[in-house]
Amino acid sequence: MTGIVSYGTYIPKYRIKLADIARSHKKNGDEITKALQVYEKAVASLDEDTATLAVEASRQALLNGNIDPKDIHAITVGSESHPYVVKPTATIVGELLGVSNNYFAADLEFACKAATAGMQFVWGLVETEKARNGLIIGSDVAQAKPGDILEYTASHAAGAFILGKKNVIAEIVDFVSYTSNTPDFWRRDGQQYPSHGGRFTGEPAYFHHVLGASKVLLEKVKMDASDFAHAVFHMPNGKFPKIAAKRLGFSKEQVATGFIVDRIGNPYSASSLVGLSAVLDIAKPEEYIFLCSYGSGAGSDAFVFKTTKEIITYQKRNKNPVVGQIEDKEYKAYRI
């Protein structure tokens, strides 16, 4: 089988409370926190960017899986905040990890679903034995115009997953994509901050694609929401994933473990990956996990995973679970 053999996450320890951001803009912090259902967000240090976050998460994945970097034959980095416009992030990551020169590398962009697109690419390389192991990364130092509603949730983190055929902890059972030309979020070349369609980002964008991809996959694999132990959805705020889950028939309990947006915000390409990591940190063998990402522009990738007995041994080796990184925090003051 082809599936996840290891994973790692990196959540910067610094936090900013949404109430502090609101206060600086002379807004009602309680109202904004209640509306978004997010309380604080993770932010990178001054010497951290998308590449450094990606490296930290990837090192954790290699360590947890006891994998030699030279056994990595593909690297994809999904992000909308690559440090260079013309210069791949994937090669920086490969060099710092000590990967040999014999690997496929690609930077991917599709808003917040760029990383799950990479998971599909790398699955194909591993499944057809063009690569022994492949590393897929979602890493973002998310950007937003000061005072814009996006600023309250745009956060920073990275998730890295290694796919292979040996010692698989979660098989990739199947996946689908659902895509349309829906311009709910964009940034033209040279613009410093992204723009968005406000309320238009909800029903015709996020919900249309997340529900569309999820329903297509559930029908394809002939499963219902009740067949899954856990479900993870892209988390642009605290409301959208809960509404999507409810419409699809998933319970609050199924979504709870992977729901991390209220404590770290929305790290864009890393959002669903960090949520999946939190689930794998505590999942039991032979459990089905549902995941659906979302990227503005717009599209969703939906996956069905099934854990194996290997996950018990793996969890004992994992010394840096998501919950520990969320709790290891230091608050910073917000200044315009």
Out of 73, 112, 196, 209, the active site residue is 112
Same-domain status, 181 and 165:
no
Mean of per-residue pLDDT scores for the chain = 96
Report d(CA 257, CA 54) in Å as an integer.
23
Question: pLDDT by residue (tens digit) across 5-46?
Answer: 999 999 999 999 999 999 999 999 999 999 999 999 999 999
Given 73, 196, 230, 234, the catalytic residue: 234
CATH number, domain of 192, equals 3.40.47.10
| Catalytic-residue membership of 25 | no
Per-residue pLDDT, 174? 98
Statement: residue 332 has pLDDT above 80:
yes
What pLDDT, on a 0 to 100 scale, did the predictor assign at position 320?
Answer: 95
Q: Establish if 76 belongs to a structural domain.
A: yes
Q: What is the mean pLDDT of residues 141-163?
A: 96
pLDDT at 57 over 90: yes
Same-domain check for residues 234 and 271? yes
Does residue 71 lie within any of the structural domains?
Answer: yes
Quick check: 106 and 76 in contact, CB under 8 A? yes
pLDDT at residue 185 tops 90: no
Question: Structural domain of residue 75, as residue ranges?
Answer: 3-169+315-331
pLDDT for res 39: 97
* pLDDT band at 189; cut points 50, 70, 90: confident
Q: 122-148 b/e with 16+ CB inside 10 Å = b?
A: bbebbeeeebbbbbbbbbbbbbbeeee
Q: pLDDT (tens digit, 9 = 90+) per residue, 190-224? A: 888 888 887 778 889 999 999 999 999 999 999 99
Exposure pattern of 27-42 as b/e (b: 16+ CB <10 Å)? bebeebbeebbbbbbb
Q: Are residues 130 and 220 in the same domain?
A: no
Residue 265 predicted with pLDDT over 90: yes
Q: According to the model, what pLDDT value does residue 196 have?
A: 85
Cα(184)–Cα(99) distance, integer angstroms? 37
Residue 229 lies in a domain: yes
Q: 291 and 259 share a domain?
A: yes
Catalytic position from the list 40, 48, 80, 151: 80
pLDDT level of residue 264 (50, 70, 90 thresholds)? very high
Q: What length does the chain have?
A: 336
Q: 51 pLDDT exceeds 90?
A: yes
- The number of distinct structural domains making up the chain is 2
Same-domain status, 11 and 147 = yes
**Are 195 and 148 in a shared domain?**
no
**Domain co-membership, 102 together with 187:** no
Q: What is the spatial distance between Cα 275 and Cα 263, in angstroms, rounded to a whole number?
A: 12
Q: How confident is the model at residue 89 (pLDDT cuts 50, 70, 90)?
A: very high
SS3 of the chain? CCEEEEEEEECCCEEEEHHHHHHHCCCCHHHHHHHHCCCEEEECCCCCCHHHHHHHHHHHHHHHHCCCHHHEEEEEEECCCCCCCCCCHHHHHHHHHCCCCCCEEEEECECECHHHHHHHHHHHHHHCCCCCEEEEEEEEECCCCCCCHHHHCECEEEEEEEEECCCCCEEEEEEEEEECCCCCEECCCCCCCCEECHHHHHHHHHHHHHHHHHHHHHHHHCCCHHHCCEEEECCCCCCHHHHHHHHHCCCHHHHHCCCCHHHHCECHHHHHHHHHHHHHCCCCCCCEEEEECCECCCEEEEEEEEECCHHHHHHHHCCCCHHHHHHCCEECCCCC
What is the C-alpha radius of gyration for the chain, rounded to an integer number of angstroms?
A: 18
Q: Are residues 210 and 156 in the same domain?
A: no
164 and 20 in one domain?
Answer: yes
How high is the pLDDT of residue 190? 87
Quick one: 57 and 119 in the same domain? yes
Q: What is the pLDDT of residue 200?
A: 76
Is 292 a residue of the active site? no
Q: Is residue 287 flagged as an active site residue?
A: no
288 lies in some domain: yes
Q: Are residues 23 and 78 in the same domain?
A: yes
The tens digit of pLDDT for each residue in 278-323 reads 999 999 999 999 999 999 999 999 999 999 999 999 999 999 999 9
Distances (CA, A) of 7 to 2, 84, 202, 227, 315: 14, 25, 31, 24, 11
**336 in a domain, yes or no?**
no
- Same structural domain for residues 110 and 30? yes
The answer to whether residues 118 and 139 touch, using CB atoms and an 8 Å cutoff, is no
Tens-place pLDDT, residues 127-136: 999 999 999 9
Residue 257 lies in a domain: yes
